[in-house]
Amino acid sequence: MSEIKYDFGTGRSDPSTFPAEALQAAAVKVIGEQAEELTKYPGGLGHAGLRQAMAEREGGREGVDINPDHLIITNGSMQAVTLTAEALQDQKGDTVIVEEYSYPGTLGAYRSLGLDMVGVRLDEGGMRIDHLAEALERLTGEGRLPKFIYAISTYQNPTGFIMPKSRRLEMIEVAARYNVPIVEDNCYADVHYDGPIEPALFALDDNPNHVYLGSLSKILAPGFRLGYVYARPPMLEKILARRHDAGSNYLAAAIAAEFYKDGIGNHAAVTNPVLKRKRDLTTQGLEDTLDDICAWSNPAGGLFIWLRMPDDVDRKKLWELTQENGFNYLPGTAFHYANRNKPFLRLAFGHLTEEQIVEGIPVLARCLREARTSNEARTFEGLFD
């Protein structure tokens, strides 16, 4: 295997925009001021200052008041995913609804918990509500009412699509009809490039059974391992009851709280234009090299582009060719709720240099064409037709 020169497989932000000096100053300040607190266990809710900062972050974006005492700081958003699932699960074999293609970390966690996942089809507006309603009706008839619905409604991973407000309202209505909680994962919300910002589900509905998950990994850095859960009582207490680690990383939370004490907007104004430029370079490269045989998303935010390839691509051969040529991606099977090998792949562009993007996409194009078993033109128009 050749050295990977073009790693489009890893989803993280641009390292050059990491605010090292500002975070260093924040660390010095909080260690000096909060040394005693660092000798204690932080408790189930976590650092009060970061909870206040994240309450202001979410409330300001959504135009609603958020009680910081209804936020739980977690060790990354994956702990939030797992704690929530454990709180809502009764036993192994319980059914949950997910998008047909979803975040591999969540899918892996649900598999480990023994949850039975039912995938709902996607289109350019996210989870299709007609298919969601059909699944809920069928599962109810089978005596398998889902414990919850998991949805990445904004800059969906892997597709990058945004669920419009009208569809969010439909999802809320359908879920309420069957009394099924919604777990909304909004980890990419601040990585916004253009277009309208759709409201989070909690801003559209005050149902106390719904849960909201957030993260600092995508806008700041995954190494901080900071995420959070927003849940209203009594759901809040159910989730806290699953926590046995005495709280999240206090030092990381204190540094992030100091850094974001004036809001998240200033940092986003630095990072997002850089990421938008990389998105544009990636889509332009695809346009120049693969327009005749592939289709792909053009996300208004987030870190990922979802690409559909012709059915005649030998996907095992494609993987071998790309690895030999120093190109890495994540195949569609990694995102499919049932691990089915579908003709898709995800490109993560955030951490690559502009030069790596410009040089790397033609490498993918050459490998894709070599892995085909025919030279037929594209037979589909979009990602889901």
Q: What confidence tens digit (pLDDT) does each residue in 231-249 have?
A: 999 999 999 999 999 889 9
pLDDT of residue 66 exceeding 70: yes
pLDDT band at 253 (very low <50, low <70, confident <90, very high): very high
Q: Are residues 249 and 275 in the same domain?
A: no
Percent of the chain with pLDDT over 70: 100
Instruction: Read off the pLDDT band of 378 (50, 70, 90).
Output: confident
258 vs 1, residue with greater confidence: 258
Identify the three-state secondary structure at position 215.
strand
Q: pLDDT grade, residue 1 (50/70/90)?
A: low
- Residues 77-106, mean pLDDT to the nearest whole number: 97
Q: Say if residues 178 and 132 touch (Cβ distance below 8 Å).
A: no
Collapsing DSSP to helix, strand or coil, 11 comes out as coil
Judged by average pLDDT, the poorest of 85-89, 217-221, 302-306 is 217-221
CA distances from 371 to 82, 290, 336, 348, 382 (A): 38, 13, 22, 21, 21
Q: Provide the number of structural domains found in the chain.
A: 2
**Which runs of E-coded beta strand occur in 30-140?**
71-75, 95-99, 116-120, 122-123, 126-127
215 and 233 co-located in one domain: yes
Residue pair 153/186 in contact (Cβ under 8 Å)? The answer is: yes
Q: What is the CATH number of the domain that holds 156?
A: 3.40.640.10
Q: Report the chain's mean pLDDT, rounded to a whole number.
A: 95
The reply to whether 94 and 224 lie within a common domain is yes
**Smallest Cα–Cα separation from 249: which of 274, 216, 211?**
216
- The verdict on 126 and 259 lying in the same domain is yes
- CB of 128 closer than 8 Å to CB of 120: yes
Q: Report the alpha-carbon distance of residue 277 to residue 332 in Å, rounded.
A: 25
Whether residue 290 sits in one domain with residue 203: no
Give the number of other Cβ atoms within 10 Å of residue 323's Cβ: 15
Helices (H), 179-264: 201-204, 235-240, 250-259
- Whether 123 contacts 84, CB under 8 Å: no
Could you report the per-residue pLDDT of 119-167, keeping only the tens digit for each? 999 999 999 999 999 999 999 999 999 999 999 999 999 999 999 999 9
- Decide if 382 is inside a domain: no
What does each C-alpha distance from 271 to 303, 358, 369 come to in angstroms?
Answer: 12, 20, 34
Say whether both 176 and 310 belong to one domain: no
Check: CB of residue 97 under 8 Å from CB of residue 146.
Answer: yes
Tell me, yes or no, whether 133 lies in a domain: yes
pLDDT tens figures, 179-190: 999 999 999 989
Residue 383 lies in a domain: no
pLDDT at residue 42, as a whole number: 87
